[in-house]
Chain A
């Protein structure tokens, strides 16, 4: 059974650009959630999608957005990148609430 796949693994972008990250969940999992990890703030919840609907959103500016497709794959978009957006972005897939979460390897974004 394939795990959670995040692409790309590494990305370098310039301040002001926009970026799209992708997460393919485990087959059969309908919940995909996204997290930002920085040395200063640790892991923080961005948002969660279930069956193409955003169910929860963390405390991040509107520059951070996401969507989920009918095959449960999810994308996360960050517009007008800032230096402080440099982080490891992780996604996790679950069948639903109260089920085990499986994390991807993450996308390491560097904004220069």
Chain B
């Protein structure tokens, strides 16, 4: 059983659509991270959450600690948002457990 489960695995959306990616985890965490990976491999950290909600531009991340669940939302999606989004649970030992990633394609 994976410590971090992400859904959906693949997502295709029309430009402008509202997108939600879900992440459930079973380990105790100190923080939940959302990462973005573009083709070529480089990873960018989008959010680090330990409670509540964070917003950055068109991206919103929420976490429910009691339910061990987090969501990443993209409002008014754009083709440049096409990437793989990865949820990572960070424990107090500074170790990450990664989800398998959600491959997002936004069509113009």
Contact = CB atoms under 8 A, between A and B. Distances in A.
Binding partners A and B: yes
Contacts of A23: none
Given A45-B95, A58-B95, A105 B42 contact: yes
Interface in B14-58: 30-31, 33, 35, 40-45, 48, 50
A100 B93 CA distance: 14
Interface string A95-107: 0111111111110
Which secondary structure characterizes the binding site on chain A?
strand
Given A100-B48, A105-B41, A108-B41, A44 B98 contact: yes
Interface residues of B, number: 25
Contact of B95 (A37, A48, A90, A105): A48
Interface of B: 30-31, 33, 35, 40-45, 48, 50, 86, 88, 90, 92-101
